[in-house]
Amino acid sequence: SVPPGVLPLCHRPPAWGRAPRQPPGLPLAPCRAFSNNKILVELDESSGVATMKFKSPPVNSLSLDFLTEFCISLEKLENDRACRGVIFVSAIPKIFSSGLDITEMCGKSTEHYTEFWRAVQETWLRLYGSNMVTVAAINGSSPAGGCLLALSCDYRIMVENPKFSIGLNEAQLGIMAPFWFKDTFVNTVGHRVAERSLQLGSLHPAPEAHKYGLVDELVPEEKLQEKAAAVMAQWLAIPDHARQLTKSMMRKALLDRLVAHREEDIQNFVSFISKDSIQKSLRMYMEMLKKKN
């Protein structure tokens, strides 16, 4: 197993090898499953579509372990010729992902903050730049880092329940979203909506998120899986090579920007999060969450 924080950078030999697809017509064993602690991965070889199901109670928070497992699983799929697309969904009711795990940012060492932030960057670089078709099936609330995961996909379908909300609400917690969270947000909803939403730290209920273009489509919860499969099929109808080149053309500038400023961005995060005032805010926020539960 891979030690936490040592992320596979690229072109690792894929765990599932590069086996050719199953010959058509073979009815058995169309699905390979793969699970670590926090994410269940299933690959349907007949369609070439994998599902990554987040199952890290209570709220799928993005801990260092979760992010490491996420990157390794995504890398495996990326290198698996049998896989062309991934659907992301939560196995936990009412929450897609609660975002970055605050315990990773509170009362830890500089080394730990560095390692954690590098994993957050790595996750975004891999997902936003993935060659596969990526669809977020958002079956619950998705604040902050959870919203970033969804925004980094090619398409977002959200359950139409107005109790589920999504947004980059960092400002509400007294912190600021990093520039590449902001860039991803702006590329999705435009400058003005982003300017207002990020300053207010808004969590948009599903209908409002749809109105602002933060998600592409709303569906009843029972239709989510079917809709995600249909959208995936539509995207997979396009020749991979042309779609991948086009995706890269649209996203390369943003990816390059973080790659160019990666160490600086880590420094900024570490010095910011190490401040007494920020540590105090985060501790108070965690106390509040504990009392709430």
145 is a catalytic site residue: yes
Q: Which of 75, 78, 160, 170 is catalytic?
A: 170
Min. distance of Cβ 175 from its own copies in angstroms? Answer: 6
201 part of the interface to its own copies, by CB under 8 A? yes
Min. distance of Cβ 127 from its own copies in angstroms? Answer: 15
Among positions 142-171, residues that touch its own copies (CB under 8 A) are 154-155, 170-171
Q: Phi and psi dihedrals of 106, rounded to 5?
A: -130, 120
Of 235, 261, 274, 286, the one binding its own copies (CB under 8 A) is: 235
Q: Which of 145, 146, 167, 201 is catalytic?
A: 145
Min. distance of Cβ 36 from its own copies in angstroms? Answer: 30
- Ramachandran category for residue 17: left, alpha or beta (phi over 0 → left; psi -120 to 50 → alpha): left
ω into 58 cis (within 30 of 0): yes
β-bridge pairing 133-138 and 140-143: unpaired
In angstroms, the CA 133 to CA 188 distance is 17
187 is a catalytic site residue: no
Q: Which of 140, 160, 169, 214 is catalytic?
A: 169
Helix/strand/coil (H/E/C) assignment for every residue in 37-104: CCEEEEEECCCCEEEEEECCCCCCEECHHHHHHHHHHHHHHHCCCCCCEEEEEECCCEECCCEECHHH
Q: Strand ranges (DSSP E) for the chain?
A: 31-35, 39-44, 49-54, 61-62, 85-90, 94-95, 99-100, 133-138, 140-143, 155-159, 165-167, 204-205, 217-219
Q: Which stretch binds its own copies (CB under 8 A): 17-25, 34-42, 78-86, 198-206?
A: 198-206
242 part of the interface to its own copies, by CB under 8 A? yes
Q: Which of 62, 67, 74, 100 is catalytic?
A: 100
100 is a catalytic site residue: yes
Min. distance of Cβ 245 from its own copies in angstroms? Answer: 4
Gyration radius (Cα) of the chain, Å:
19
Q: Choose between 25 and 241: whose C-beta lies nearer to its own copies.
A: 241
Q: Which residues bind its own copies (CB under 8 A)?
A: 154-155, 170-177, 179, 182, 186-192, 194-196, 198-201, 213, 216, 234-235, 238-239, 241-243, 245-247, 249-251
For the annotated catalytic residues, the residue numbers are 100, 145, 169-170
